[in-house]
Chains A and B, each alone.
Chain A
Amino acid sequence: MLSDTSPESSTASASSGLDSYAKGQIAINSLSIIITTVPNSVSASENPSYSLLHDPEIASQVSSLLRDPNSGAGDNNLCRWLYDTFQSSDPNLQLVVLRYLPIIAGVYLSRVALRRPLAGFEAVLLALYAHETTSRAGQSWTVSVPDLSHPSLYHESRSSTKSNATEQNIAVVSPRLEPYGTVRSTKRARIVGVALELYYSKIIYMPVRSKIEFCEFCETWAGQDGEMYKDGEEVDKGMQQLRIDDAAGSESVEKERDGEKVGRIPLPWELLQPVLRILGHCLLGTGKDKDLFDAACRACRSLYARSLHDINSKAILATGSLLRLAKMSSDSADDFEPPEILNNNAITL
């Protein structure tokens, strides 16, 4: 079980610390058979799971194995490793598996149409889904939007209508979770969506690279070039024409990535909703990483174009606003100027 306490500040008892260390070592040992090299810094690390999560060398090897055209089958030993590692029930090791969710989900969803064996990916995704089902006890997640005519924690209401008769708007954000033993095709989007919800709940522990990979797959999934929306919608006509000429014929819905055809996928709301939440974090979250921001912008533009193609009103609203917010935040380079008590040369005690 992933605990709600920060896995990194694990001030757990010595025995469980040892346990975690041992589990990490086991994971590294079994991984070393699968990938070519495990750097010394990882194998000799005092915090093996942390090193596994953050080592760029490991990440690049695992990533390229996951993107391999033959990855993801039922007998794939990397998938088996990911599955076993997640089932180790060590929260820090589970983060290592989650770190690769963008690639797993990305490759998996884009490859479904190609009718390849993908049982390995599905086993990992089902493990994440089952974990989330257990920790939510299958309950749906609802949001009831406040009505300002009622007083709240943060405001007083002048109209003292104490009646609770006014209708509360309750929306189901994530429906009840039924247990699934296999990935049925009509449940695929839901299972991946729930895995992404889990990813989002741990996103502060994810390395930037993992989030960038996620953004790249968003572009692929959208299958729509969004570069025409690069400068916001109010670009002047001349510029527009220029850009279109550049992008002529670039509605390349299927891209060649790593010699493999991957592409546009159906984006039902159960998948798009967690995708957009993660994207919101990548775009406007606390960390300020230029590469991540740029990747998130590109993803957002593609998804905006895709929403227009699908005439999906909720998605148009969300992606359109995200795009405008991204533009505002890149216009004002640093939006938080800490309060400065000492202006220029005058101070007063």
Chain B
Amino acid sequence: MRRRGEEERGEMWVSRSSAEDSGVGEVDILFGEVCANGFRMNTTEVEAKLDEGNIHEAESSLRDGLSLNFEEARALLGRLEYQRGNVEGALRVFDGIDLQAAIQRLQPPVAEKPSRRGRCRTESLHSVSQHSANLVLEAIYLKAKSLQKLGRLTDAAYECKSVLDAVERIFHYGIPDVLVGLKLQETVSQAVELLPELWKQGGCYQEAMAAYRRALLSQWNLDDECCSRIQKAFALFLLYSGVEAGPYSLAVQVDGSYVPRNNLEEASLLLMIILRNSYLGKVKWDSSVMEHLTVALSLCSQTSALAKQFEEVMPGVYNRADRWNALALCYCGAGQNKAALNLLRKSLHKHERPDDLMPLLLASKICSEDSFLAAEGVGYAQRAISNAQGTHEHLKGVGHHMLGLCLRQQAKASPSDSERSHLQSEALKSLGVAVSLKHTNSDLIFDLGFQYAELRNMDAALSCTKQFIDATGGSMVKGWILLALVLSAEQRFLEAQAVIDAAVDETAKWEQGSLLRIRARLKSLQSLPIDAVETYRILLALVQAQRKSYGPPRYTSQVEDNMNSEFELWLGLATLYSRVMCEGLGRDQEALAACINGYLVDPSCAQCQILLGALLLKMDSKASLLARSLLTDALRIEPTNHMAWYYLAKIHQHDGSIADATECLQAASMLEDSSPVESFNQLCILSRVR
């Protein structure tokens, strides 16, 4: 007996369709001839009778000519009609057979019900003649096909379903392997594949879902390609139909095996199985499967799982640069920017595809977030700009935008003042060019406003920020915060306060943290320390409540976010106490404790260093050396921080170098006039978190 898959379907077809091969029990129709049971007859005569509408005579001439019984003859007639394209006629013939009764006769006696499940080789065939079974089942299948062609889809589906029901009743043990290669298996496979399509076309979506699951979860002995086709059709149906499949029956759930809980999970599982089977050589590679999986997994933000799939793709399927780029998108989507950048470096290598726009832009964006990578990012952005031609002309503005961000980031890391200010103004220039190219991108407007603010051009910053808030309809917290900071830098505290109040109204409770923090700062600047301390109390309670309600953080980014917000609060409180302290209320110990808390969380924070330096200076005059090093460190990070200059002046004064002290004080007083309540750098963190 032939094993499935050893031969192509077409070859089997040819060999069996030659009349000589057909043994007893097989009936062939070929070129107007019918052969069965060793007899052969011409169909012209039969067809003529059919044309006259005389089914009975046609049937009896077949029965006589080929020694067939009633059902066999009818089934054959139906086929003839179907083959001739006369589906209505075929249907009339099939309607004349009591197919259900025929199925009844094919079933094994009840007493022989199997005691165990599973496939079995020949025993189950016992009295069932494959020949009869096939005739009956195929007749029903063709009836379903005829109904489908007549547009009676639901009727067709019921007929088709009865084929499958019958197969399950006739072959308790599953379809025996011995049938493999025979016509019956083909009928069964086709019915299995047709049924969900019929339900789908008939608009019976729940039935279609059930039929797909039945097709894939029962033992139909389908070949790999057929199974794969059904899996794909089902996955697509799950992904795009908009119909939720619903839970499984408990019967099919096996302990310890994965059971999908919703459409996206089920579709992803099926698509992944198809991919794996194609790697194993069981089915042909189908590029659309990967595309569907990409849609499914990126929509549920599972791009790291998608990356795994791209990694498993056999070499040679994708161009390697394409694959690196796809992987980079996946990693970037999963927040793994370093991995993404490494892949982009490969694909943008001069021997690969150095001029591709998307990877250039992505690489520059990743670099713009890290001052150590900023210089590299500048290069990518410049290449993006010069390659933004033709189809990609519209991306030129994006290139300038990224260039501006990278230059700004580069300025932060620059050790020299002159280089820093040069880079800053270059950054501003790039952002300006970007705005002239694509003036409506709200993020770009925000970045421009931010850049103006950092360069202390408050009027321009204010106008950009207002524009941003308008364009986004106030939906981005970072817009409100920047506006408040810019106003506070112009010493317009009451207006800043009003902005923050408005923003708090527009924000849900859990996300008010950063706004409340600024409110506390504003209160303390307006000499309302009690209000400010109260605000901090609320804030710390909020942070703790969040930590409790979300449970232990799952991702490192989440840990960082939590650390950030908590750190910022301690810092704020420390600042407040230090102000109080400056005002002579004398709460040094509390201030120092709060300050050290903040410093322990982030030793590289300028604000913290300044405060600690100031406190040390005040509490212990011998600590001036330590204080001075803290303050100079802080100034390296934030050269425009007036408080740092102020305390540095105090140290110089303390050390007796009056000239230096005067210089520092001058700097402090110049800068103070344009200082926001929070450093603009803090906003960077906030806006990234958001």
Interface positions of A (Cβ within 8 A of B): 4, 6, 112-113, 115, 141, 143-148, 150-155, 162, 169, 171-173, 178, 180, 184-189, 200-204, 223-225, 228-229, 233, 235, 237, 240-241, 243-244, 251, 253-254, 263-266, 268-269, 273, 276-277, 280-281, 283-286, 305, 308-311, 313-318, 320-322, 324-325, 328, 336, 338-339, 341-343, 345-349
Contacts and interface: CB of A to CB of B under 8 A. Distances in A.
Contact of B30 (A115, A162, A273, A345): A345
Contacts of A115: 470
Main secondary structure of the interface of A (DSSP, over half): mixed
22 contacts: A6-B206, A143-B268, A145-B305, A146-B265, A152-B259, A153-B217, A169-B305, A171-B300, A173-B264, A173-B299, A186-B477, A202-B242, A224-B394, A233-B391, A266-B476, A280-B239, A280-B299, A285-B242, A318-B294, A325-B288, A345-B31, A348-B16
Interface in B72-103: 72, 75-76, 79, 82-83
B475 A185 contact: yes
Contact of A341 (B141, B270, B273, B397): B141
Contacts of A286: 200, 205, 237, 240-241
Nearest to B303: A314
Nearest to B441: A309
Given A308-B361, A325-B292, A228 B474 contact: no
Given A151-B257, A152-B257, A339 B243 contact: no
A274 to B, nearest CB: 9
A22 to B, nearest CB: 28
B294 A112 contact: no
Contacts of B644: none
Interface residues of B, number: 121
A65 to B, nearest CB: 23
A346 to B, nearest CB: 4
Nearest to B300: A143
Nearest to A157: B257
A194 B19 CA distance: 64
A233 B392 CA distance: 10
A320 B189 CA distance: 35
Main secondary structure of the interface of B (DSSP, over half): helix
B610 interface: no
A242 to B, nearest CB: 10
Contact of B28 (A186, A189, A347): A347
Given A143-B262, A200-B242, A280-B295, A113 B269 contact: no
Nearest to B554: A170
Interface string B466-509: 00001111111100000000000000000000000000011110
Contact of B391 (A244, A276, A342, A348): A244
A103 B36 CA distance: 65
Interface of B: 13, 16-17, 22, 26-31, 36, 72, 75-76, 79, 82-83, 134-135, 138, 141-142, 145, 148, 183, 186-187, 189-190, 193-194, 197, 200, 205-206, 216-217, 231, 233, 236-237, 239-244, 248, 252-254, 256-262, 264-265, 268-270, 272-273, 276, 288, 291-292, 294-295, 297-306, 326, 328-330, 332-333, 340, 357-358, 361-362, 365, 390-395, 397-398, 402, 438-443, 470-477, 505-508, 511
